[in-house]
Structure 1
Amino acid sequence: MSTAVESPLVWQISVDDAPVAISARGDLIAVAGAEGTVKVFDAAMGAEIGALELPGGALKVALSLDAQHLVATGPMGYALWRRTDGRTRVRESGTWSATAAWADGERVAVATGRRAHVLDPDGTELWRTEPAASTVSDLAWMRQGRRLAVAAYGAVRCHERHTEKPVATYPYVGSHLALAVAPTGRWICSGNQDASIHIWRARDGGELTMSGYPEKVSRLAFDETGFWLAAVGAPDVTVWDFSGRGPEGTPPRSLRCHETVTALAWRPGAAGHLASGGADGTVALWHATTGRPQARLRPARELDGTGTAVAALAWAGSHLLAVAWRDGRVRMYGVPSRTAL
């Protein structure tokens, strides 16, 4: 049974741009706005640490694993920010940069049009992939940053360091909207425009498609163990069990709280705690891996419940949850560490 008792509010601020994305690493969080304003805050206190402007607007933001660098991407290019002195380098490529992902503190992959460019923190290009069939929609690092998975229409392609041509190709005729790679490296999953999730077993390319979602699958996320995949295909969040031989033949757990799910984030660790946000402004906290397959779960707790849609969620470590709403509010909540959320 859910409860309306809120987790403690650690701090709250307002930004002047409608948030579209949050990233949290180390002691920082970064909030990107639709018009291209990106602000960096201290996670514990909410004090502003730095800011940058990305011409043409922003889509995603990503802090490096060591919280020393940041990349923001948008419709017209990308920008890199350095914590030590606040230096910002903007690359107005004129091409759609959907997303970016850090391999470590020294390399970041940026989707730029039909390619992925791998850069050092100063923006120097180290290597790039050959052009895909269409604009790169998502990307993810595998094998502890040794392999890059790149999703574009028709396939997910994997590249080793400095290899323009893919070393492995996982075909699927359709448009990929989201990409998730298990931390174990065992599974590659895409959420698709055709209301399906397609799964490949990385070692041999074995395939499985899970279809029947009422809407396109626009969000996917593995938990830290790699045993659980959360997917949004509206109105439920489905949670698939990837332990053992994977999800084939096993129904998912269903989480329903929001009429439309707008954000999703697993809590770090192995507890199976998940946060979701909705168009109604509600944030729900879940014991997402409890119950039997095909169970419909209820949230353990709900936060807020009024206002504009939740734009993004991010866990700042295991005890702090950052939430951004489209009206510019950003809140940091303290979440109990005990089993009961």
Structure 2
Amino acid sequence: MPTIAPFELSGHCIAAAYLWDSPFFALADGTVHRLDHGAHSSNPHDGLLCAARTPAGDQLITGGEDGKVTATDRSGATTVLAEYPGKWITCVAAGPQGAVAFATGRAAMVRKSDGTLVEFQEQRTVEGLAFAPKGMRIAAARYNGVSLHWAGLQTEPVDLDWKGAHTLVTFSPDGKYLVSSMQENALHGWRLKDGKHMRMSGYPAKVKSLSWSAKGKWLASSGAPAAIVWPFSGKDGPMGKAPLELGTRGDTTVTCVACHPTDDAVAIGYGDGMITVARISDGKEAVLRRGGRGAVSTMGWSRRGVQLVFGTETGDCGVADLTA
């Protein structure tokens, strides 16, 4: 049976992630906590709104109500990457070559590893950002669609239009597809080679969590009584295919998903604090956590996929160890 090491904090946990072998927890009050031979904390923000782990897993990028964009490394040291006094940094993304993207209002910025900034102006507020898996291409989710920009080139953006408010955005690991979460309890996708639309609807609640499987064949999502897992293995993605439903429960909603780093399995967090892990091939489940205080808001796997760090909306955090 997995064992749970609880870590009681105070307030909404925005992000829980491993930086190498140390669990980190970023809270809405602006504190970042880490477990490394004891509990440690720092205060990089006066109010924290968003966070993203770098692809290398060596830094946690955060944005706050104080207008700061910071990077916290695995020792807990914090570096201010950008500062916009009086502004809110509403979303961040970490990309290749040490690049970081962040947004405030209608402006999206890409900070390159040498510190230079490239700014893109949108007609509406930027709600979500994502880097393509290769190159310096950035996607900005906004009202009525997503804009694609090249950070290093003076070119016009590619506009992927679809009516409604788009909040989260993610590229498939092979770079062939782009998927956004919408305010209207649905996902919308585009096949990038020809702009073909993909509608993924039927959710009873808003989709606030998306996670790609290790090889990019599946996209797991929250927003239903089960983890809704869409197939992306064919040339048409999920078009004309039904999704899998994993970890179905009748009394609560899935609030967070996190695919395993090497296996086709997904951790599923629920509104009552319960966490399970389900195998995609046959739906077999194992309970990692029976429940707790508050909905699961964030989860992250260790590098080898044998520990899972989690946080909730009430600060009821901890680490599940699957090796026990």
TM-score category of the 2 structures, normalised to the smaller one:
0.7 to 0.9
Q: Is the 8 A contact 2:223 2:255 kept in 1?
A: no
Match of 2:256 in 1: 263
Is 1:29 equivalent to 2:14 in the alignment?
no
Q: Is the 8 A contact 2:20 2:58 kept in 1?
A: no
Deviation at 1:298, TM superposition (A): 6.1
Match of 1:7 in 2: 2
Match of 1:303 in 2: 289
Aligned pairs for 1:191-202 within 5 A: 191-202=181-192
**Structural RMSD (CA):** 2.6
Is the alpha carbon distance of 1:199 and 1:63 closer, same or farther for their aligned partners in structure 2, counting shifts above 3 Å? Answer: closer
Is the alpha carbon distance of 1:34 and 1:306 closer, same or farther for their aligned partners in structure 2, counting shifts above 3 Å? Answer: same
Is the alpha carbon distance of 1:301 and 1:148 closer, same or farther for their aligned partners in structure 2, counting shifts above 3 Å? Answer: same
Task: List gaps (5 residues or longer) in structure 1.
Answer: 1-5, 292-296
Q: Is the 8 A contact 2:96 2:136 kept in 1?
A: no
Q: Is the 8 A contact 2:19 2:58 kept in 1?
A: no
Distance (Å, rounded) in 1 between the aligned partners of 2:112 and 2:150: 16
Match of 1:18 in 2: 12
Match of 1:334 in 2: 321
Is the alpha carbon distance of 1:127 and 1:41 closer, same or farther for their aligned partners in structure 2, counting shifts above 3 Å? Answer: farther
Q: Which of 180, 188, 200 does residue 190 from structure 1 map onto?
A: 180
Deviation at 1:67, TM superposition (A): 4.5
Is the alpha carbon distance of 1:173 and 1:70 closer, same or farther for their aligned partners in structure 2, counting shifts above 3 Å? Answer: same
Whose strand proportion is higher, 1 or 2?
2
Deviation at 1:162, TM superposition (A): 2.8
Aligned pairs for 1:1-341 within 5 A: 6-9=1-4, 11-42=5-36, 45=37, 47-48=39-40, 51-55=42-46, 57-83=47-73, 86-89=77-80, 91-104=83-96, 106-120=98-112, 124-129=115-120, 131-163=121-153, 166-245=156-235, 246-255=237-246, 256-257=248-249, 259-269=252-262, 271-287=263-279, 289-291=280-282, 297=283, 299-317=285-303, 318-336=305-323
Instruction: Output the amino acid matched with 1:195.
Output: N
Q: Is the 8 A contact 1:23 1:61 kept in 2?
A: no
Instruction: Output the amino acid matched with 1:311.
Output: S
Is the alpha carbon distance of 1:217 and 1:165 closer, same or farther for their aligned partners in structure 2, counting shifts above 3 Å? Answer: farther
Distance (Å, rounded) in 2 between the aligned partners of 1:172 and 1:154: 5
Q: Secondary structure of the residue that 2:134 maps to in structure 1?
A: helix
The range that moved more, 59-68 or 232-241, is 59-68
Question: TM-score normalized by structure 2?
Answer: 0.88
Q: Is the 8 A contact 1:17 1:33 kept in 2?
A: yes
Distance (Å, rounded) in 2 between the aligned partners of 1:95 and 1:35: 17
Deviations 1:161-204 (A, max 9, x none): 23465442211111112212110001101111112211100111
Distance (Å, rounded) in 2 between the aligned partners of 1:46 and 1:182: 37
Q: Is the 8 A contact 1:140 1:149 kept in 2?
A: yes
Instruction: Output the amino acid matched with 2:141.
Output: A
Deviations 1:127-186 (A, max 9, x none): 111x21222111111142421111111121111123465442211111112212110001
Is the alpha carbon distance of 1:66 and 1:231 closer, same or farther for their aligned partners in structure 2, counting shifts above 3 Å? Answer: closer
Equivalent pairs counted in the alignment come to 318
